[in-house]
Amino acid sequence: MGVFEFMVGRKKPTPSELAKERLKVVLVHDRLKVSPELLELIKSELLSVLSRRLDIDEQHMQITMTREGGLDTLMANAPIKRQKVTFEWDPPSKDVIRGKVHVEEDQQ
């Protein structure tokens, strides 16, 4: 079970799974001593970078530090709002490729 499945409560974890996922997060925090404020800052910076290209569902974006495969890892879960992305090329020029990104909310 991955950390986000656990966080969004998609599965009902067993007590042992719960302990394991909680531990993976708490151990990284114990080691790195990352404050919640810093994590919040990283999250908002990530969001602003991602939002330049994609329409991220800010409400449901999650960021966490956890231990995966023996490595202390920053994990970000950034759901993208359902949308239609199209790209329109500008007439080809010598060495640059330009175009416009169109993003529409998907109707379904």
Partner 1 sequence: MDSTRIITITSGKGGVGKTTTTANLGTALAMQGKKVAVLDADIGLRNLDAVMGLENRIVYDLVDVVEGQCRLKQALIKDKRQPELYLLPAAQTRDKNAVNSIQMEELCQQLRQDFDFVIIDSPAGIEQGFRNAIVGANEIIIVANPEMASVRDADRIIGLVEAAGKPEPRLILNRLRADMVKRGDMMAITDVLEVLNIDLVGIVPEDESIIIATNKGEPAVYDKRSRAGRAYLDTAQRLLGEEVPLDEVLDSPSLLERLRRLIRFGPALSEKPARSQSS
Return the residue of 71, 89, 93, 97 that touches partner 1, per CB under 8 A.
71
| Residue whose CB is less far from partner 1, 19 or 49 | 19
Q: Is 22 in the site for partner 1 (CB under 8 A)?
A: yes
Q: Is 69 in the site for partner 1 (CB under 8 A)?
A: yes
Return the residue of 8, 11, 23, 99 that touches partner 1, per CB under 8 A.
23
**DSSP characters over 18-86:** HHHHHHHHHHHHHHH---HHHHHHHHHHHHHHHHTTS-B-GGG-EEEEEEETTEEEEEEE-PBPSEEEE
Residue 81's identity, in one-letter code, is: K
Q: Is 32 in the site for partner 1 (CB under 8 A)?
A: no
**Triad 41, 46, 47: Cα angle to 5°:** 95
Residues near partner 1, by CB under 8 A: 14-17, 19-20, 22-24, 26-27, 30-31, 67, 69-72
